[in-house]
Amino acid sequence: MKKQIAVALAVALMAAAMAAGRCYAQRPSSRADIPFAFQVANQTMPAGEYLIERVSDTHLRAQIIRRTDSSAAAVAVTFAVDAKNGKSEPKLVFHKYGDSYFLSEIWTGRAEGRHLLVSRREKELARETPGSEVAVSLQPVSERGL
């Protein structure tokens, strides 16, 4: 039941974000060039250049991950996680199982990052296959600079 609520919330947040168009463009965002397909919020996202943004300044839990060409987008429900040494470099952390990648963490260069909920598929693969972590550099940008 909790999973259905979380999925419904994510879908509703994504719909609201997409309907809002570029009105959220004034918020800072980060850009990453992801060289492999990956999964986030039970969606497969193709390789490419992505923007990562908060849904709103008051709602830090939801993050929008969208291709810069707007061909793919997802909303991820996240929770705060502290850096072990007090600060972390800006990066996206992926869990890799065989040829499957799952977005796991978003670090913007502050002491606090965002950890994504683990999908059922990732849990299945984690039980069956040894995994590893892959980091992709994240660059702070503004929509105005695109």
User: E strand or H helix at 8, and its extent?
Assistant: helix 2-19
How confident is the model over 19-49, as pLDDT tens digits?
444 444 445 689 999 999 999 989 999 999 9
* Among 12, 11, 56, 22, CA closest to 146: 22
Q: How far apart are CA 32 and CA 107, in angstroms?
A: 12
Token pair recorded at residue 117: 């909920």
Run of H or E residues at 19: helix 2-19
Q: Which of 68, 76, 81 is nearest to 14 (CA)?
A: 76
Phi then psi for residue 32, to 5 deg, are: -140, 140
pLDDT at 90: 92
Selection from 125, 122, 117, 124 nearest residue 4 by Cα? 117
pLDDT recorded at residue 92: 96
The confidence score (pLDDT) of residue 81 equals 87
pLDDT of residue 28: 61
| pLDDT at site 60 | 63
Q: What pLDDT is stored for residue 142 in this prediction?
A: 59
Q: Please spell the DSSP secondary structure of 84-122, one letter per residue.
A: TTS---SEEEEEEETTEEEEEEEE-SSSEEEEEPPPHHH
Query: Which of the residues in the chain have pLDDT under 70?
Result: 1-28, 57-60, 86, 142-146
pLDDT for res 144: 47
pLDDT of the residue at 3: 54
